[in-house]
């Protein structure tokens, strides 16, 4: 049995956990979310890298981790090299699914893709290179929004999703000139995919979840699986009333009580 750590600033990693767990149900899962520093999309690159390295060093000192998934595009598009240098286990990053979206748009769409991500991710050099390498022949529009990240957090805390608010965020893409294929380049956004699809019914939504599950499965090929997996363990970096409510979504998926982790 392998110990798999899934990490995000908040609830977004749940969308990745679900895919990984579906592929590999019989392992020990840790979910760590850094709500003390949320939202990552607004942090400077320098702060992000220092925080991620500090958190991972401390977490892996206290818990045996065989593989870590950075279930956060905002972090992965910047901190992966530093994390890989400082850790000995495999680290899988989640980055925007530009390549599959471009293939889909080229073959089945109109050659127009949209990237919906955080302000941090849309500004990264890594993201510009992904677009240059895989979608240079397409029309690519970028939309960076922290408001949508917060709406996903609120949804997980039991608040209703206001469609009118979502429509305002997606307004640049509504109508015939909008993209045919949309990359959900933030792990929070698949948690709102039904609502996004409702507002953009003809657009194909693409995220990285299944590709990450395949990558984790191939890295853990040969690792034994237990017959009954132990309960997942969930940690936050500050205990708040909201985090306790959000953690219920994880309790429903086999995780134990929310615990505080401070580096
Ligand atoms: N879930 C994260 C991502 O995939 C970031 C959200 C945030 O903290 O801004 O980008």
* pLDDT tens sequence across 190-209: 999 999 999 999 999 999 99
Cα–Cα distance for residue pair 25/235, rounded to 1 Å: 20
pLDDT, residue 225, reads 75
Cα–Cα distance for residue pair 188/193, rounded to 1 Å: 9
Q: Which of 80, 183, 186 has most ligand 1 atoms within 8 Å of CB, for mutation?
A: 186
Residue pointed to by tokens 């019914």? 201
Q: What is the DSSP letter of 215?
A: H
pLDDT, residue 205, reads 98
pTM for this entry = 0.96
pLDDT, residue 162, reads 97
CA of 224 to the centre of ligand 1 (A): 32
Catalytic residue IDs: 72, 186
The two tokens of residue 111 are: 């050659």
In short, whether 74's Cβ falls inside 6 Å of ligand 1 is: yes
| CA distances, 219 to each of 16, 69, 71, 215, 237 (Å) | 16, 12, 16, 6, 28
Q: Are 141 and 205 in contact (CB under 8 A)?
A: no
Q: What is the DSSP letter of 238?
A: S
Give me the helix-helix angle, 98-108 and 125-134, nearest 10°.
30
In short, whether 73's Cβ falls inside 6 Å of ligand 1 is: yes
Which atom number of ligand 1 is nearest to the Cα of residue 120? 9
Which parts of the chain have pLDDT scores under 70? none
Domains of the chain, first to last? 3-94+210-260 (3.40.50.1860), 98-207 (3.40.50.1860)
| DSSP H helices in 98-230 | 98-108, 119-123, 125-134, 146-156, 163-170, 193-199, 209-219
Strand, helix or coil at 227? coil
In short, whether 48's Cβ falls inside 6 Å of ligand 1 is: no
CA-atom Rg of the chain in angstroms: 18
């Amino acid at each position: 049995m392998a110990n798999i750590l899934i990490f995000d600033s908040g609830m977004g990693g749940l969308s990745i956990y679900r895919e990984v767990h579906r592929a590999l149900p019989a392992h020990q899962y840790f979910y760590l979310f850094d709500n003390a520093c949320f939202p990552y999309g607004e942090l400077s690159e320098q702060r992000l890298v220092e925080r991620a390295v500090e958190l991972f060093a401390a977490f892996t000192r206290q818990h045996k981790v065989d593989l870590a998934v950075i279930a956060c595009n905002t972090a992965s598009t910047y901190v992966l090299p530093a994390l890989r240098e400082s850790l000995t286990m495999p680290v899988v990053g989640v980055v925007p699914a530009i390549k599959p979206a471009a293939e889909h748009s080229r073959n089945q769409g109109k050659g127009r893709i949209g990237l919906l991500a955080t302000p941090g991710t849309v500004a990264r050099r890594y993201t510009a290179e992904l677009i240059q390498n895989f979608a240079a022949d397409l029309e690519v529009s970028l939309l960076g929004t922290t408001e949508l990240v917060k709406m996903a957090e609120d949804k997980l805390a039991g608040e209703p999703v206001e469609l009118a608010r979502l429509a305002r965020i997606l307004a640049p893409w509504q109508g015939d000139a909008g993209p045919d294929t949309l990359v959900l380049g933030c792990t929070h956004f698949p948690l709102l995919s039904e609502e996004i699809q409702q507002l953009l019914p003809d657009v194909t939504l693409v995220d990285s979840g299944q590709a990450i599950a395949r990558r984790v499965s191939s890295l853990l090929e040969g690792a034994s699986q237990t017959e009954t997996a132990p309960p997942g363990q969930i940690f936050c970096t500050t205990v708040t009333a909201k985090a306790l409510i959000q953690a219920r979504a994880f309790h429903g998926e086999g995780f134990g009580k929310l615990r505080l982790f401070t580096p």
